[in-house]
Amino acid sequence: MSGAPDDAAVRVFTVRAPSGEAREDAVAAEEPLELRAEGPDGVEHRVAVTMRTPGHDLELAAGFFFTEALLQGREDLASLTPKTLVVANARGNALTLRLRARFDPARLQRNFYATSSCGVCGKSALELVAQRTPTLPPGPVLDPAVLCALPARLRAAQAVFARTGGLHATGLFTADGALVHCREDVGRHNAMDKVLGRALLDGLLPLGGCVLQVSGRVSFELVQKAAMAGVPVLCAVSAPSSLAVDTARRVGMTLVAFLRGDGFNVYAGPERIAPRP
C-alpha cells in the first residue's frame, strides 16, 4: 500500500512494417482503491472509490481527504498508519483513515466516484467546491527561466513513465526550481493528491512559497486542489480548460500552461512572473 508506483509486464505484438514480433512490454498499473473514514467510535464509512496506480496510497488518501475538505490537517488524523483490507477475488483494496473526531457522513456533499480521467465526477453542486477554495496570498515572484526548466526536471523524476509511457505526474517545486516531491499515477488528480498528501503528512501546508508542475493539461479539479493547499502557482505543459482559468483568476492563482521549451502562456496571475530581461 506504499512505496513507488507499480508497472506490469504484458505480452504484446509489435508491428513495424513490413513485419512484426511478439515481446514483453511494461504498462502502467491501474487498480481500484476504496477510501474509507473511521472516527473514534470505530465505525467505518465508505467515502470514495478511485482508479489509481498502486503506491503512495496513504499520501493519496490524505491528499484526497484534505482537498475534499474532509480533514483540515495532519492533526485531524488519529494515526498515520491506516487500516488496510485486501479485497478477496478482485484486484484492488481498501484503505481506512482513522480520524480524531467522529466522521459525519452528511459532510459528503456528493457521491464520490473518481476515475483515472476525472476527479470530480458526480459533483452535486459546483458551488460547493467553489465555496471552500480560499483566495490565495501574494506568493513569490518567479523568474521565467525557472519555470521553463520545470518540465524537464519533472520528466527526469518520472521513473515509471520512463518504463511505460503511461502515467501522469505532479511535481512540487520551490520558488527557485528545486524539486521537493514527484508522484506518478494513471490519474492526474491522483498524482496531485499524492503530492499534497505527502506535504500534509510532513506538516508543510499551506504551500505558499511553492510551485506545482503537472505533466499534461490542467483542469478545474487540479486548480481547486492546488488552491486548497495554498499553492500560488500552477504550471502545465499542455492546455488549460476554461473553468480552470476562471477558477484560477477567482482565487488569485498564477496559471501557466503550454510550458514548453523557452516559452509559456500565462492565463491568470501574471503579477507573479518577473519581467524578462
165-196 pLDDT tens trace: 668 999 999 999 999 999 999 999 999 999 99
Residue 183 shares a structural domain with residue 242: yes
Closest-CA residue to 223 (of 140, 106, 134, 145): 134
pLDDT score recorded for residue 85 = 75
Please state the pTM of the whole predicted model.
0.86
Q: Report the share of the chain in percent with pLDDT over 70.
A: 77
- Can the peptide bond before residue 206 be classed as cis, meaning omega within 30 degrees of 0? yes
Tell me which residues are annotated as active site.
118
Q: Are strands 233-236 and 7-16 parallel, antiparallel or unpaired?
A: unpaired
What dihedral angle (degrees, nearest 10) is formed by the CA atoms of 94, 114, 100, 77?
A: 80
Distance, CA of 104 to CA of 44 (rounded, Å): 11
What is the DSSP annotation of the chain? --SSPPEEEEEEEEEETTEEEEEEEEEE--EEEEEEEE-TT--EEEEEEEEE-SS-HHHHHHHHHHHTTS-SSGGGBS-SS-EEEEPTTSS-EEEEEEBSSPP-GGG--S---B-SS-SSTT-S-HHHHHHTPPPP-----B-HHHHHHHHHHHHHT-HHHHHHS--EEEEEEETTS-EEEEEEESSHHHHHHHHHHHHHHTT--S-TTEEEEESS-B-HHHHHHHHHTT--EEEESSPBPHHHHHHHHHHT-EEEEEEETTEEEEEE-GGGBPPP-
Domain boundary among the residues 59, 94, 129 is at: 129
pLDDT score recorded for residue 21 = 74
Residue 74 shares a structural domain with residue 175: no
pLDDT score recorded for residue 275 = 82
Cα dist from 5 to 29, 68, 137, 188, 196, whole Å: 8, 23, 34, 14, 16
Give Cα 44 distance to the centre of its chain. 25
Q: What is the pLDDT along the chain (277 residues), one digit of tens a residue?
A: 455 556 666 666 656 666 667 767 667 788 889 999 999 999 999 998 888 988 899 999 999 999 988 899 999 999 989 988 766 555 558 999 999 999 988 777 554 444 444 555 444 445 555 656 778 999 899 999 999 999 999 999 887 665 766 689 999 999 999 999 999 999 999 999 999 999 999 999 999 999 999 999 999 989 999 999 999 999 999 999 998 999 999 999 999 999 999 999 999 999 999 985 4
**One-letter amino acid identity for 146?**
V
Decide if 16 is inside a domain. no
Residue 261 shares a structural domain with residue 163: yes
Residue 163 shares a structural domain with residue 82: no
Decide if 22 is inside a domain. no
Residue 166 shares a structural domain with residue 250: yes
pLDDT score recorded for residue 162 = 59
Number of folded domains that form the chain: 2
pLDDT score recorded for residue 201 = 96
Residue 112 shares a structural domain with residue 169: no
Residue with cell 508497472: 7
| Containing structural domain, residue 230 | 144-272
Decide if 8 is inside a domain. no
pLDDT score recorded for residue 264 = 94
Residue 201 shares a structural domain with residue 241: yes
Decide if 4 is inside a domain. no
pLDDT score recorded for residue 130 = 60
